[in-house]
Structure 1
Amino acid sequence: MSAKETQNDTLDTVLDEAAQEQNGAEESAQTEEETTESARYVELVKQAEEAQQRYLRAQADFDNFRRRTVKEKEELAQYASMKLINQLLPVVDNFERAIAASSSNNDFESMAKGVDMIFRLMSQTLDAEGLKPIVAVGEPFNPEFHQAIMQVESDEYEEGIVVEEVQKGYMLKEKVLRPAMVKVSG
């Protein structure tokens, strides 16, 4: 073998070894990259599972909150009138006393005074709860507060003014509870 052939064989061997080292390095880098990607994938799966668990807990908390508020709302509606009923019980007691007293001695004047006192007590109770009568007579007709049942001729009032109140109207705080039934000048 000539020196040139030996040199070429050595060169080929060195090149083969370099190529093998490079392939080994590439495989090592690829294996390392795959390991990194695999670890990243595992981490992302773990984060997704944690997020799913947080979501399910939040959903359960919200469902519990919704059920609790519905129950509280039902209880509030069921017992909302309890305070007013407690305030009206003395009125009922006084009515019972007035009826018992008038039936035993037929004193209708005393009964009328008793009923008047009871009416004032009840009016005070309702007033304390925010019930106010709607002022109608002499006021311009307003369909939000008045319900016209008749139109009448009037020399005393201009056209469109409430002349007579047939049934009182009431407001509860700022809301019309029942409009006043009125006659309006035409």
Structure 2
Amino acid sequence: MSDQQKNPNLEAEQDLKSEAQNEAVEDILEPEAEVLEAEPENDELAKALEEVAQYKEAALRAQADAQNIRRRAEQDVEKAHKFGLEKFAKSIVNVADNLERALASAPATGESDPVREGVELTLKDLLETLARFEVKPVDPHGEPFNPELHQAMTMVPNPDLEPNTVMDVVQKGYTLNGRLLRPAMVVVSSAA
């Protein structure tokens, strides 16, 4: 008889051992298989997290853009309110100039002149109204010439003044809320 026939228990024992070994190998390999299967899930999770981060970043950018647009719109409205009177103010300062010219050309007599008084009061009221709306005159007489605020009409040699000093103001300039509305037309001294 063969060894297998002699010992049927031995065969059963070997089968049990091989089954146990197979199970042990499967137990060892199973977690590796799960890890291998989990890696694609981790990749998917990583991709999803990256996508979420991109969406968050895009949302933050969109929110920042919206805030910037809102802020710019508020600034534009503020500037429109502040400088919306610019054309009107340019026209009105010409009226003030004409009233000043009228007063300068009318001879001052010792007697009370109702027309002159009326023009003086009108000019005073007009200048006060302009000041309420932040339209202020620029009268640079005796100041150094500033090309940002003044327009030189001519240069006259004058040894008494330093060069580039405003000697005379032909027409006053005006500012609106601190921004130049009209430059002052001036006569500037030059070196003798």
Aligned partner (choices 19, 34, 44) of residue 17 of structure 1: 19
Aligned partner (choices 125, 129, 134) of residue 125 of structure 1: 129
d(CA) in 2 for partners of 1:81, 1:140: 28
SS at match of 1:170: strand
Aligned partner (choices 140, 164, 167) of residue 163 of structure 1: 167
Call closer, same or farther: CA 1:169–1:74 in 2, change over 3 Å: closer
Aligned partner (choices 128, 134, 152) of residue 138 of structure 2: 134
Identical residues among aligned pairs (%): 28
Query: TM-score if structure 1 supplies the norm length?
Result: 0.57
TM-fit CA distance, 1:183? 0.9
The 8 Å contact of residues 149 and 183 in structure 2, kept in 1 or not, is answered as yes
Query: TM-score if structure 2 supplies the norm length?
Result: 0.56
Call closer, same or farther: CA 1:185–1:53 in 2, change over 3 Å: closer
Which structure has more RCO (C-alpha within 8 Å, separation ≥ 6)? 2
SS at match of 1:25: helix
Deviations 1:115-145 (A, max 9, x none): 4323222211222333322232222222232
- Unpaired runs of 5+ residues, structure 1, are 92-108
The 8 Å contact of residues 83 and 176 in structure 2, kept in 1 or not, is answered as no
TM-fit CA distance, 1:165? 0.9
SS at match of 1:22: helix
Equivalent residue number for residue 35 of structure 2: 33
- Across the two proteins, how many residue pairs are aligned to each other? 163
Equivalent residue number for residue 177 of structure 1: 181
Call closer, same or farther: CA 1:166–1:69 in 2, change over 3 Å: same
- Unpaired runs of 5+ residues, structure 2, are 93-112
Cα-Cα RMSD: 4.3
